[in-house]
Structure 1
Amino acid sequence: MDIVKVPFGKFNGQAVTKYVLTNDNGVQAGILDFAGLLQSFKVPTKDGGKADMVLTSENLDEFTGNGFCTNRLIGRVAGRIGDGEFKIDGKEYHVEQNEGKNTLHGGKNGFYNHVWHVDGTKLTDNAVSLTLSLTLTPEMDTFPGKMHVVATYTLDNNDNLSLKFSATTDADTLFNPTNHTYWNLSNAAAKTIDNLKLYVNSKNHLAVDDGKIPTGEKVANAGTPFDFSTPTKLSDALKPMAATKENGFDDIWEVEPSLDKPVASLEDPESGRKMTLYSDRNGLVMYTMNSDDPTVYNHGKVQPHMGIAMEAQTLSDTPHHPEFGNVDLHPGEEKAYTIKWHVEY
């Protein structure tokens, strides 16, 4: 086990550092204190090299200069809040609307737009971890309450990378964080996710309106492109989505929460690489990077479907749909959530 620090540029004048966690098998996770960003997740290859499982760059500007929230931590609330308003115990709150009339990913100054404090690192015989923290106030992100959030990444010798979030607040607020990493397990020559196979432990996805806000209706996956109950080649699923205005997926699946049974998996039959996702929450938002706009993502040549974001969270817009779950956070309590990725190679 090992952990090293590497300078990684500056964000708004603040120095950014990458922490490279390495296990005894040679698996490496590179994590930035900027946005808790999973900059790389490398696994050994059969020829003795290393392959990155995620979209990556060695240039910080390529992460900060696009609108894809690439590989960053997201909060206070992942996904969209309809009309930027919600109620907690009958009291109404209004927060910044940064996507039309809706609030997306906690507003423009959420988790993903800060250099986090490094609380510390830990090294044992079987695991290495990095703990980051951030305090947000209403003046910073318009959400109520002074929230203190802690995020700990842990890489172990069983080739698991886990991410545990916890948060406290001094006033009623919302807490539904996620990680927005884009995955592509293919060999470097493959520029899209087309040949990857996706499995999702899900029977339903959420119907959404034109603003991608859930209507409350759950739609059966069976017989639709949303059905990944058996590993499905992504090109086969994406073909019928080409006729949609998104040209792919930007959608919400209801999943069976579990840290022991896979919520989803992504595999590359050619290389043998596989990522299995576990989550203790009931939602999985997946976005197949549908844009070819170079101003949105400036990492080399841009084309649709370069990666797939698999955002584990509580189902979106829960303040307006209590049946989806409860993401309220009250003073005097702590909420914690875990996401885990297991890699095979």
Structure 2
Amino acid sequence: MITRSAFGTLPGGETVERLELALGNGFSAAILAWGATLQSLRCPDREGRFDSVVLGYTRLDDYRQAGGRLGATMGRYANRIENGRFQLDGRWHQVDLNEGSHAIHGGPEGFDRRLWQVAAVIDLPDRPEVVLRLDSPDGDQGFPGKLIFTVSYALRPPGDLVISYEASCDRPTVFNTTNHAYFNLAGEGSGSALGHRLAILADHFLPVTEELIPTGEVRAVQGTVFDFREPKPLGQDIRADDTQIRLGRGYDHCYVLSRDGAEPYPRLAAHVAEDGCGRRLHVLTTEPGLQLHSGNVLTGRYRGASGRAYRQSDGFCLETQHFPNAPNVAHFPSAVLRPEHPYRSTTIYRLGVTPPSPR
């Protein structure tokens, strides 16, 4: 079932729509046309209690004014581009800067700050789905080429949120996207998520500079605080005396996913468990990278849907994407998009519960 309602009004008078998708088992997701944003994702815990497991606001103005980009769709280039410059087919391009001398998440007016068109509503009982579309003109934030971008949110029983991305262009450009949801499996507004047990299926990660730009090195996680190949609490090493942890003020690094090839179907990238409530999350994706962000930018200035302020590490991001600054690093997987090869990508956030231990 899909329920449509008005969420708020923009200064220009445009109405921002909210679309809530629900399955018969109570699993639901709410999507905003502003930023193609995942506002809530409700699922049961071990005792059958329902909570949203992503951070979100109840007011449009908070989404427009607060930092953090909670639940939004990133573009035209998710994550960072060094100095906002890249060379494509022998020509240099300069895009708009919004993080010091660098560009992040597409620039000051990235796709997370746009009103998207609701392109389709598919109200099927076992797979409700909404498709949102954004047309980005040639030169948008300095990026070359006209881009047509759609993102689809679909629910599948018993607890899958499937996010599908498609993009096409009329001339070569660079493109990278992700969803910027902050998860807390204990429930939105429940406090710190540092006790969640996290595993990431990656043997390598990308070290960064003081300005959080990848150095170009692909470093083994073995023997470092970045090793999540076996589950461990997210916060176990977050206060470690480690240069990379200090630079990120926690984790804000891209993991190189362990893949056997360029399979077109989603593969398991990470899994998370919150032992107190029993919820678990599996992340599957077709993307080559996974950005772990431990909620370092949450400042407590804004209150979420629960009425509680979001503070550092009250949620964490598992952002499936291409690598940061890939347009400037030849040995990273290419983020070049060409007219003859449209972009297609799928990420699945699979929620469930761990049964209680036998007494």
Same fold? TM cut 0.5: yes
In 2, distance between residues paired with 1:189 and 1:182?
11
Q: Supply the AA of the counterpart residue of 2:4.
A: K
Segment drifting more, 25-34 vs 301-310: 301-310
Per-residue CA distance 1:274-324 (angstroms, 9 max, x = gap): 1110111111111111245345x4544342111101110011111111221
Equivalent position SS for 2:150? strand
Mapping for residues 274-313 of structure 1, pairs under 5 Å = 274-291=280-297, 293-295=299-301, 297-299=302-304, 300-313=308-321
Provide the secondary structure at the position in 2 that maps to 1:339: strand
1:338 aligns with 2:346: yes
SS at match of 1:155: strand
Kindly tell me the number of residue pairs found equivalent between the two proteins: 343
The equivalences for 1:93-172 within 5 A come to 93-172=93-172
Pairing 1:197–2:203 present: no
Tell me the equivalent position of 1:184: 184
**Matched residue type, 2:200:** V
Q: How far apart, in 2, do the equivalents of 1:278 and 1:291 lie?
A: 25
1:10 and 2:9 matched = yes
Q: Is the 8 A contact 1:65 1:298 kept in 2?
A: no
Structure 2 distance, partners of 1:262, 1:332, is 29
Instruction: Give the letter aligned to residue 349 of structure 2.
Output: W
1:271 alignment counterpart: 277
SS for the counterpart of 1:141 is helix
Shift of 1:127: 0.8
Give 2:249's aligned residue.
Answer: 247
Equivalent AA in structure 1 for residue 7 of structure 2: F
**Residue-by-residue CA offset, 1:213-268 (whole Å, 9 max, x unaligned):** 11111111112111110111122132316972543111111113574542011210
TM-score w.r.t. structure 1 length?
0.94
Aligned AA (2:316): I
Q: Which runs of 5+ in 1 are unaligned?
A: none
Change (3 A) 1:189 1:176: closer
Whole-Å Cα distance in 2 between the matches of residues 122 and 285 of structure 1? 31
Counterpart of 2:295, as a letter, is M
Structure 1 pair 48–159 and aligned structure 2 pair: CA distance change class (3 A): closer
Alpha-carbon distance between aligned partners in 1 of 2:206 and 2:80, rounded to the nearest angstrom:
13
| Alpha-carbon shift at residue 47 of structure 1 (Å) | 4.7
Alpha-carbon distance in 1 for matches of 2:292, 2:95: 24
Alpha-carbon distance, 1:48 to partner: 4.5
Greater shift, 245-254 or 95-104, is seen at 245-254
Contact 1:86 1:320 (C-alpha < 8 Å) held by counterparts: yes
C-alpha displacement of 1:181: 0.4
**Residue 60, structure 1, aligned to residue 68, structure 2:** no
- 1:222 alignment counterpart: 222
Deviation of residue 147 (structure 1)? Answer: 0.6
Cα displacement (A) at 1:337: 1.0
Alignment check: 8 A CA contact 2:46 2:279 kept = no
Shift of 1:143: 0.9
**Which has the higher mean CA deviation after the structures are superposed, 155-164 or 70-79?**
155-164
Kindly state the Cα deviation for residue 46 of structure 1 after the two structures are TM-superposed. 4.7
SS in 2 for 1:262: strand
Pick closer, same or farther for the CA change 1:252–1:159 going to 2, 3 Å.
same
| Residue pair 1:146, 1:171 contacting (<8 A) in 2 also | yes
SS of equivalent to 1:323: coil
Amino acid at match of 1:280: T
| Secondary structure at the counterpart of residue 62 of structure 1 | helix
In 1, distance between residues paired with 2:181 and 2:217?
A: 27
Find the residue that maps to 2:240 and give its secondary structure: helix
- 1:328 and 2:313 are equivalent in the alignment: no
Output the amino acid matched with 1:249.
Y
Q: Tell me, in whole angstroms, the C-alpha distance in 1 between the residues paired with 2:221 and 2:34.
A: 37
DSSP-derived class of the 1:132 partner: strand
Other-structure match for 1:317: 325
Matched letter for residue 233 of structure 1: P
Amino acid at match of 1:288: S
- Superposition deviation, residue 171 in structure 1: 1.9
What letter is aligned with 2:268?
A: P
Once residues 178 and 189 of structure 2 are traced to their aligned partners in structure 1, the CA distance between those partners, rounded to angstroms, is 30
Query: Aligned residue for 2:357?
Result: none
Q: CA deviation at 1:52?
A: 0.9
Could you tell me how far apart the structure 1 residues matched to 2:292 and 2:33 are?
25
Matches of 2:119 and 2:241, distance apart in 1: 44
Equivalent AA in structure 1 for residue 160 of structure 2: N
- Equivalent-residue separation in structure 1 for 2:298 and 2:70 (angstroms): 15
Structure 2 contact 164–347 (Cα < 8 Å) conserved:
yes
